[in-house]
Amino acid sequence: MAMKRHGLVRRRRALGFTQESLAEALGVERSTVRRWESGESSPLPFLRPRLARLLRVGAEALEELLTVAPAVPSGRTERLSHVLRHPSAVDLIATAELRTGMEDLTCRYDAVPSATLLADAGQQLHRVAFLADAAPAGRVQRELWSLQADASTLMGQLVWDASQRHDHGAARTYYAQSLEIARHLRDRAAEGHALLRTCYVALYGAHDHRQGLGLALQAARTTRKTSHALTGLALLHAAEAHAFLGEHRECERALWGAEKRLERSDGTDAAHELFTATHFGRLAGSCYLSLGSYDKAQRLLEDTASRMLKRRKSRAIVLGNLALTEIRRKDLETALVAFNEAVDELRGTRGGGGINIVFRVARELRPWLGRSAVQEAQDRLLLLMGAA
Residue 271 has pLDDT above 60, yes or no: yes
Examine the domain organization and report whether 90 and 181 are in the same domain: yes
180 with 78, same domain?
Answer: yes
**3-class DSSP assignment, residue 4:** strand
Q: Look at 60 and 116; give whichever has higher pLDDT.
A: 116
User: Do 79 and 174 have their domain in common?
Assistant: yes
Q: Within a domain: residue 120?
A: yes
If asked whether residues 366 and 339 sit together in one domain, one would say yes
Position 348 scores a pLDDT of 76
Average of pLDDT values for 127-136? 93
| pLDDT per position as a tens digit, 298-325 | 999 999 999 887 778 889 999 999 999 9
CA distances from 305 to 160, 235, 350, 387 (A): 24, 21, 17, 25
Distances from the Cα of 348 to the Cαs of 24, 61, 156, 181, 338, in angstroms? 22, 41, 21, 34, 17
pLDDT at 68: 60
Are residue 61 and residue 78 in the same domain, yes or no? Answer: no
Angle 107-270-223 from CA coordinates, rounded to 5°: 115
Give the domain extent around 105: 74-186
Higher pLDDT: 277 or 339? It is: 339
| 3-class secondary structure per residue, 96-159 | HHHHHHHHHHHHHHCCCCHHHHHHHHHHHHHHHHHHHHHCCCCHHHHHHHHHHHHHHHHHHHHH
Q: Which residue did the predictor score with more confidence, 37 or 359? A: 359
> pLDDT (tens digit, 9 = 90+) per residue, 274-297?
778 889 999 999 999 999 999 999
What is the band of 72 on the pLDDT scale with cuts at 50, 70, 90?
A: very low
